[in-house]
Chains A and B, each alone.
Chain A
Amino acid sequence: MSARVLIVEDEFFIALDIGQQLADAGFEVVGPAPSVAKALTLVAEPGCDVAILDVNLGGETSEPVAQKLRESDKPFVVLSGYSTDNLLPWFGGATVLSKPLRIDDLVAALRGCMGAPPGAPARGA
């Protein structure tokens, strides 16, 4: 069974593009969610194994989503458009990728945070 990855990103085409590439890499895509509210709904149902959080969702940040994921023990990767804020407290130990991203880096980061060896096929936890 494929790992389910939740994409939280407010820019439609970026989310669409990441989603398509992750699907090609063998993930099952949940979302994308353009807002905190939508993301929290998707974390609850259908749920996910791992998530990608864009820091800035046009007026709000993904912090509440990060908290929710941490409570449910789901790892996440942070996607940031800022060059200088690569270490906000709520990121915790999450891998931070800077935009624009390379899909290989993203896939490696997702697999890494799920505890799988970098080269392993995408499998659910």
Chain B
Amino acid sequence: MLTGNGRAGEGGAKAFARGPASSRPPPINILIVDDEPKNLTVLEAILDNPEYRLVRAESGEQALLALLFDDFALLILDIRMPEMTGFELARMARERKRTANVPIIFLTAYYNEDQHVLEGYDAGAVDYLLKPVNPAVLRAEVAVFAELYRKQRSIEEMNRVLQAEVISRRRTEDRLRELNNTLEQRIAERTDRVRHLLKEMDHRSKNIFSLVQAIARQTAVASPGEFATKFSERIHTLAASHDLVVKSRWKGIEISDLIRVQLGHFVDLLDSRIELDGPPVRLSVKAAQTLGMVVHELATNAAKYGALSNDSGRVEIGWRANDAFTIGWTERDGPHVEAPRRHGFGSTVVKTMAESNLDGEVDLDFAPTGLRWRVVCPSSKVLEKSALHIQEQDMEGRLDG
């Protein structure tokens, strides 16, 4: 009943999408309807052209079925058919949205009788030819409708492409706007962070000036004879800790790095006479400054009187961090230890300062076999809050408070 192959509806769209490079556009669908198969065969012979795909229907019902399955560029209808006439079929096609605008060529052998009906149709979308059909006239007529169909399709396709383009551009614009907003927000956040850091640096440098001032006076009182040397060493200690702070980008100082730096040239004895034992711990700026001074004073004392003053002494530095933070300095195999008769700057650092700055308790024992020092304090006083933004939030709280 139906002949031909392929789906015409998709064909037109694809032809446009492929563009001018495509050698030949896909054929367009033409529905030919006649109750006489011979007539259909004649039409097929006349319209034999690779640009057309002819679909045969021998009744109005077959024609309606064909209209359901395919898109047609043109209907060629015999008027006089049993059951459903060409006019009835045309009316039904007009009532359907999908086929309402498909042009129709009626074929009539009784022009005088059919004329009044034919004139009832709008001109343009409809034409009629007298039977027997003049092949040249039919070919010319079909060619006009086929060209019209292609142009319409092409315009529709162009519209579709343009619309898709508009949508795609709008999406791109939206995305750009979104990215822009995100970027601006990130810049604002970064600017804030930098501003906070600058403020914190300002605060820290002022504090360090004060601390240097205080250490200068304390050193002058405790060791007037060795002021220049001792003061210079202590400033060096502060600077070394500060270096680590900057290198860590203010995100906490690794405790083993701090100890290494503060051991000075004794760092060569690491893993032989000086042993470090503890998990990775990131110290806050203040804790690093405090522990840095402590390690420096303990190392200086050990070099002068303790385990680092002979060739065999050993030092073990161990720490643990749970709810409480503990760090100990234990000397062995050094010379016999005697408790000092007076408390100088060094013992103030390792005892009173450590306790005050770390809110902890220091155990300092001048055992004859070797000095033992240990501090226990809340971990919160020592550990860096790992993420920088937490530190900044804190800072904001402090500044706005």
Interfacial residues, chain A to chain B (CB-CB below 8 A): 10-18, 20-21, 32, 34-35, 56, 58-61, 63, 80-85, 88, 90, 98-101
| A15–B210 CA distance with the chains assembled, in angstroms | 10
| A99–B213 CA distance with the chains assembled, in angstroms | 10
Which residue of the partner chain, among B203, B214, B399, contacts A16 with CB atoms under 8 Å? B214
Which residue of the partner chain, among B207, B213, B214, B215, contacts A81 with CB atoms under 8 Å? B207
- Cβ–Cβ < 8 Å partners of B398 in chain A: 56, 59-61
Interface centre among A13, A80, A81, A100 (most CB of B within 10 A): A13
B203 touches A34 (CB 8 A): no
| A34–B213 CA distance with the chains assembled, in angstroms | 19
Contact status of A82 and B207, CB under 8 A, knowing A17-B217, A56-B398: no
**Pair count A-B, CB < 8 A:** 78
B399 touches A58 (CB 8 A): no
| A114–B218 CA distance with the chains assembled, in angstroms | 29
Contact-residue size bin, chain B (C-beta under 8 Å from the other chain): 20 to 34
Which residue of the partner chain, among A20, A63, A100, A101, contacts B401 with CB atoms under 8 Å? A63
B286 touches A58 (CB 8 A): yes
B202 touches A11 (CB 8 A): no
- Cβ–Cβ < 8 Å partners of A85 in chain B: 399
Interface centre among B203, B212, B348 (most CB of A within 10 A): B203
Shortest distance between the CB of B259 and any CB in chain A (Å):
21
- Cβ–Cβ < 8 Å partners of A81 in chain B: 202-204, 206-207, 210
Q: Is B41 an interface residue (CB 8 A)?
A: no
A17 touches B214 (CB 8 A): yes
Q: Is B69 an interface residue (CB 8 A)?
A: no
A12 touches B356 (CB 8 A): yes
Interfacial residues, chain B to chain A (CB-CB below 8 A): 199, 202-204, 206-207, 209-215, 217-218, 286, 348, 352-353, 356-357, 359, 394, 398-399, 401
Which residue of the partner chain, among B202, B214, B217, B286, contacts A83 with CB atoms under 8 Å? B202
A83 touches B206 (CB 8 A): yes
- Cβ–Cβ < 8 Å partners of B199 in chain A: 82, 84
Shortest distance between the CB of A20 and any CB in chain B (Å):
8
- Cβ–Cβ < 8 Å partners of A88 in chain B: 401
Contact status of A17 and B218, CB under 8 A, knowing A81-B206, A81-B207, A82-B202: yes
B394 touches A59 (CB 8 A): yes
A99 touches B209 (CB 8 A): yes
- Cβ–Cβ < 8 Å partners of A14 in chain B: 207, 210-211, 213-214
- Cβ–Cβ < 8 Å partners of A16 in chain B: 214, 218, 348, 352-353
The chain A residue sitting closest to B200, CB to CB, is: A82
Interface centre among A56, A81, A101 (most CB of B within 10 A): A81
Which residue of the partner chain, among B211, B217, B218, B399, contacts A11 with CB atoms under 8 Å? B211
Which residue of the partner chain, among B202, B353, B394, B401, contacts A13 with CB atoms under 8 Å? B353
